[in-house]
Amino acid sequence: MKTKQFGRRELLRAAGATLAVPFFLKQAFAGAAPRPPNLVLLMQTNGTNQKNYWPADGSFDSPILHELLSDPVLASKTTLLKNINFDSTGTPTGNGHDWGFHGLYSGFAAINNGPDQFGGGISLDHVVAQTVKLGRPIDKLHCGVHAVDYKIINAGRASFSALGAHQQVPCELDLYALYTKVFGSPTVDTPEARAAAALRIVQKKSVLDAVAGDLQALQGRLGPTERNKVDIHLTAVRDFENRLSATIPAPIGACAEVKPSRPGVPTEGQGNEANAEPLLRLFMEFIANAVACDMVGCLSFQFGRGGDHFHYRWLDIPGMPEDAHDLVAHLDDGNNPDIARINTAIKVWYTMLVTDLARRLDAFPQADGATALDNSLVVWGNEIATGTHAMEKMPLALLGKAGGRLKKTGWIVDAGAQPHHRLGATVLNIMGNPVAGFGNLPNCGMLKGLELNL
């Protein structure tokens, strides 16, 4: 990987005045570059404006992606995946929001109807965590921001992360708790503190052993269906126990000092539209910190609930309706300039968030001279393709170079129409799991046209 030196001025320019990378963080990246790459899965909702998303022929810029692609460094590390169509094999239930929200990163069809509708299979984040030796203190995290979608009919859209059919995993919303989880509380590194930490581990392991013992006893009394529930529970206990042992004796150095740049933003799950804007910004910062500090192997994030109903009041877009969902996710067929303008303005804002994340990652030099962005694979997806619930030409982009496993970046991959399952298969191969397919298309192969170095 080519060495890239960052001067202070360049760092500040990249990160923005308020995004300056703390010196101690840079110090933290003196170790070996992470392998396999850090994986970040981003799920945006409500589609995009197709015309303003895709660069025109011969260009690598567009109105919606301009913030990202106008930066030559970031553009050179971005890959747009064109002509990926959502494949509804398995006949998903619900509408496009459910199909894409549950299916884009799982390859399985949404199941059931009404309040019981959920994803139909294990999602990519869990497949990666279960099949790839990620070697980070925390294998995976799923987090996000919810907003004002308060009706119960969409309970399944609260999280796209699933351990299996109808086995939704909660979307963690508390940004500050996530910082504590990932970076721990500040500690004083003294012999006494280390001894106390070691004793704590012994005690907590004894507690978790008792819990595991109870779970094993329960397992033996169950039939196969119910046993699966307890298996998941037991795995969670064992994973947590391993993490407890792995992280506490080995101080995580300067990264332990990472903290959110703004405290006190309420993170409650429902009706927090007023806090959505600062929370989303803070989450970009968190993802960058977690990935750059090499603390989380696979981090999945949702910008909202499936088919979210953000109002985007902070954008103050002229003509914006109170609930943007119906306008941008239902009506933008590309023919109404007013609707396209509003939809584009919203999507530009999301690009700014993702660009912020990319800039932060690219501002962190790592041991091999590459940046955290170079050593990461950020998948930026969307549950639907356009504002008419269409599912063709899903807006998809890869950011970063996946530790060199993405051989060519800075271009548009367009090898004709391809099923979205190939995205999952490709990500798994990049991460080191040589699968032939993904979800309910076990032999779909990888994305064609992409140049990989596996």
Partner 1 sequence: MIGSVRAFASATAALFALSCSALVDENSSGASGTAGGGSTAGAGGTVPEQPVTCLHALTRRVRRLSAREYLNVLTDLLGESAATAARALLPFEPRLAGFDNQDGGLLVSAAYQEALFNIAEKVAGAADPATLAPCAAGADAAGCLSAFAQSFARRAYGRAPTADESMRLLAAGATGPDYATSVRLVIEAVLQSPNTVYATELGPVDSGKAGAEVTLAPHEIATQLSLVLTAARPDEALLAAVDAGQLGTPDELRAQLTRLLATPRAREQLRHFIDGWLDIGPVADAPKDATTFPEYTPALAAAMQQELDQFIDAKVAGGSGTLLSLLTDPSTNVPPALAPIYGASLTESGLDPARRKGILALPGLLAYHSADQHSGPIERGLFVKRQLFCQVLPPPPASVIDRLARMPLDTHDKARTTRQKYEMHVNEQFCAGCHDQFDGIGFGLEEMDALGRYRTTENGLPVDSSGSLAGTDVDGTFNGVVQLTEKLAQSEQIKTCFTQHFFRFAASRPPTADEQCVLDSWAKTFSAGGTHIEDLLLSWLTDPRFVVRKEDR
CB 319 within 8 Å of CB 59: no
Q: How far is the CB of 435 from partner 1 (least distance, A)?
A: 23
Q: If binding is defined by CB under 8 A, does position 51 make contact with partner 1?
A: no
What's the CA gap between 453 and 403, in Å, rounded? 10
CB atoms closer than 10 angstroms to residue 216: 11
Q: If binding is defined by CB under 8 A, does position 148 make contact with partner 1?
A: yes
DSSP class of residue 114 equals G
Among 208, 265, 412, 452, which residue interacts with partner 1 (rule: CB under 8 A)?
208
Q: If binding is defined by CB under 8 A, does position 209 make contact with partner 1?
A: yes
Q: If binding is defined by CB under 8 A, does position 140 make contact with partner 1?
A: yes
In a 10 Å sphere around its CB, with 0-12 CB exposed, 13-18 middle and 19+ buried, how is residue 318 labelled? exposed
Strand runs labelled E in 47-185: 78-81, 84-85, 138-144
Q: How far is the CB of 165 from partner 1 (least distance, A)?
A: 10
Residue type at 62 in one-letter notation: S
Return the residues of window 288-317 that contact partner 1 according to CB under 8 A: 311
Q: If binding is defined by CB under 8 A, does position 358 make contact with partner 1?
A: no
What's the CA gap between 384 and 85, in Å, rounded? 10
Among 333, 349, 410, 415, which residue interacts with partner 1 (rule: CB under 8 A)?
333
Of 77-85, 165-173, 287-295, 362-370: span binding partner 1 (CB under 8 A): 165-173
Among 17, 56, 152, 250, which residue interacts with partner 1 (rule: CB under 8 A)?
152
Of 38-46, 154-162, 248-256, 344-352: span binding partner 1 (CB under 8 A): 154-162
What's the per-residue H, E or C state across 196-214? HHHHHHHHHHHHHHHHHHH
Of 47-55, 71-79, 278-286, 326-334: span binding partner 1 (CB under 8 A): 326-334
Among 135, 213, 249, 266, which residue interacts with partner 1 (rule: CB under 8 A)?
213
Of 78-86, 249-257, 322-330, 343-351: span binding partner 1 (CB under 8 A): 322-330
Among 336, 349, 410, 414, which residue interacts with partner 1 (rule: CB under 8 A)?
336
Q: If binding is defined by CB under 8 A, does position 198 make contact with partner 1?
A: no
Return the residues of window 398-427 that contact partner 1 according to CB under 8 A: none
CB 363 within 8 Å of CB 15: yes
CB atoms closer than 10 angstroms to residue 133: 12
44 beta partners: 382
Q: How far is the CB of 263 from partner 1 (least distance, A)?
A: 15
Q: If binding is defined by CB under 8 A, does position 322 make contact with partner 1?
A: yes
Q: If binding is defined by CB under 8 A, does position 223 make contact with partner 1?
A: yes
Return the residues of window 78-117 that contact partner 1 according to CB under 8 A: 94-95, 113-116
C-beta closer to partner 1: residue 93 or 409: 93
For 32-47, the DSSP string reads PPPSS-EEEEEEE-S-
Q: How far is the CB of 387 from partner 1 (least distance, A)?
A: 9
Of 39-47, 99-107, 222-230, 439-447: span binding partner 1 (CB under 8 A): 222-230
Q: If binding is defined by CB under 8 A, does position 331 make contact with partner 1?
A: yes
Residues 6+ apart with CB under 8 A from 386: 47, 48, 49, 50, 332, 333, 334, 393
Q: If binding is defined by CB under 8 A, does position 197 make contact with partner 1?
A: no
Q: How far is the CB of 259 from partner 1 (least distance, A)?
A: 18
Structure tokens at 35: 């392998």
For 187, the 3-state DSSP assignment is coil
Question: Which CA distances in Å does 169 have to 10, 142, 359?
Answer: 40, 8, 30
What's the CA gap between 437 and 248, in Å, rounded? 38
Q: If binding is defined by CB under 8 A, does position 247 make contact with partner 1?
A: no
Q: How far is the CB of 29 from partner 1 (least distance, A)?
A: 26
CB 288 within 8 Å of CB 130: no
- As a residue count, the chain comes to 454
**Residue whose pair of structure tokens reads 């300039």 in the numeric block:** 337
Q: If binding is defined by CB under 8 A, does position 257 make contact with partner 1?
A: no
